[in-house]
Amino acid sequence: MKINSNLDLYNSFRELILFFIFILCISASLYAKAEGIENLQKNASITYEKMMQAKQNAETFTKDLTFAEKKLATAKQKLAEAEQAVETAKKKSEQAKISMEKAVKQWKQASDALANEWGKTEVK
């Protein structure tokens, strides 16, 4: 009987050890899962921060693009106005050149007429 009782005690002790091992495995598994979830949460948080930074950068660069496009449109308008001013100045310059040539021609005619008149008076 003593052997039987020792065997029962041994089996009970063995079952108790197996039960503790089982509990330890479950605890380790739950801890690993909790640690995995914690890592996933950290990763999601970091990724969210990166996404928000990328969104902020996109908004900033979109505003910069809009400003640059407006600045370009203004510069194009000023260039068009400057080109128009150049064309107007060219036309006025050509007109002034024609007027000057006309005035020089008239002055030469007046000078020639005067010289002719002086020449006539000297011959007399």
Q: How many whole angstroms separate alpha carbon 5 and alpha carbon 11?
A: 10
Residue 124 pLDDT greater than 60, yes or no: no
AA letter at 4: N
Residues 88, 90, 96, 102, Cα dihedral to 10°: -120
What per-residue string of b and e applies to 72-103 under the rule 16 or more CB within 10 Å gives b?
A: eeeeeeeeeeeeeeeeeeeeeeeeeeeeeeee
Confidence band (pLDDT; 50, 70, 90) for 31?
low
Confidence band (pLDDT; 50, 70, 90) for 1?
very low
The residue-averaged pLDDT of 93-120 equals 92
Residue 57 pLDDT greater than 60, yes or no: yes
pTM: 0.50
Residue 66 pLDDT greater than 80, yes or no: yes
For the chain, the structural domain boundaries read 1-86
Q: What is the pLDDT of residue 120?
A: 76
